Amino acid sequence: MKKGIHPEYGPAKVTCSCGNVFETNSTVKEMHVNSCSACHPYYTGKKTFVDTEGRIDAFKRRFAKKG
């Protein structure tokens, strides 16, 4: 590897929106994520549905008049 062209790689603090905080290694010192292994449905086995922008309701309102 060439010297001086690669970013520093070291410990990083990751904060999830569920409140879980853990450490890993990365070139970024601090990260904020939407889901992690503590809250993601794939890892928890729980089905959750998040419609934060109301897209389903908007779709239903738009097509309720036509049907």
pLDDT tens per residue across span 16-38 = 988 999 999 999 999 998 888 88
Q: Name, in order, each residue with C-beta under 8 angstroms of 55's C-beta and a sequence gap of 6 or more.
A: none
Task: Report the percent of the chain where pLDDT is more than 70.
Answer: 87
Please report whether residue 1 resides in a domain.
no
How many domains, in total, are found in the chain?
Answer: 1
For the residues 36-60, what does the mean pLDDT come to?
75
Q: What share of the chain is helix, strand, coil (3-state, %, to 5)?
A: 20, 25, 55
Please report whether residue 49 resides in a domain.
yes
Of 30-34, 49-53, 56-60, the one with minimum mean pLDDT is 49-53
Per the structure, the complete domain to which residue 22 belongs is given by: 10-64
Please report whether residue 3 resides in a domain.
no
pTM of the complete model: 0.57
Please report whether residue 22 resides in a domain.
yes
Please report whether residue 53 resides in a domain.
yes
Arithmetic mean of pLDDT over the chain: 83
